[in-house]
Amino acid sequence: MAIIDLPSSDTFAIFVIGVLAAIVLWDAFWLTKQKRDIPTLGDLPNGGFAWSSEGPQEVIRQWGNLFSMAAMMSLPWALISLSNTSIIYGIIWDILLALHIIYLLIPKRYAVTSTHLFADGQRYEWKKLRLSKRQPKRRIMLLRKGWGIFGPLPVGGKYHDLEQAKTAIARFYQMGEESE
């Protein structure tokens, strides 16, 4: 029976940290786009609306992700001692995840237009989204079609802004149904 040589635990740790660093940098890139994509807040042409959130609304919006990040921060510590991996990789892992948590909590800019939702520095076509049947009280829950359980796209903001956005979203969905 042939024995397969696996990479060292430190080599694997470097690989995993590289992947995490790429994810954190990718998310940071998209966050920088939101000000460019949504330069002004308030009413937009063609019945659109743009608004921004504050830190507490992002905590409400991201609560599930925050718990996931906390669990992921604790994950490597048991494995480090079992695999004789250098502790520096666990520290780097936690620093990268802490940066990601900060990104999750940074106030965001959102906009709804007749064709797209702008959220998290990205643009989503309405035909690829649907409103969740059960709407939470303090955010708007959209679902990405075809993503299954990985499809929730919560949108945060102040109550008044969310109500105005819901009205615009309903109007845009109605316009889309009429044009079909």
Q: What is the tens place of the pLDDT at every residue in 47-82? A: 899 999 998 898 888 888 899 999 999 988 888 888
State residue 73's pLDDT score: 92
Nearest C-alpha neighbor of 140 from the set 170, 100, 114, 102: 170
- Whether 179 has a pLDDT exceeding 60, the answer reads no
Nearest C-alpha neighbor of 58 from the set 129, 109, 3: 109
CB hemisphere CA count around 179 (13 angstroms)? 9
How sure is the predictor about 7, in pLDDT bands with cuts at 50, 70 and 90? confident
Q: Provide the sign of the torsion angle of the four alpha carbons 119, 123, 127, 129, taken in this order.
A: negative
- Whether 6 has a pLDDT exceeding 80, the answer reads no
State residue 15's pLDDT score: 95
- Whether 177 has a pLDDT exceeding 60, the answer reads no
State residue 9's pLDDT score: 84
Q: Which CATH architecture has domain 21-179?
A: Roll (2.30)
pTM > 0.85: yes or no: no
- Where do the structural domains in the chain lie, given as residue ranges? 21-179
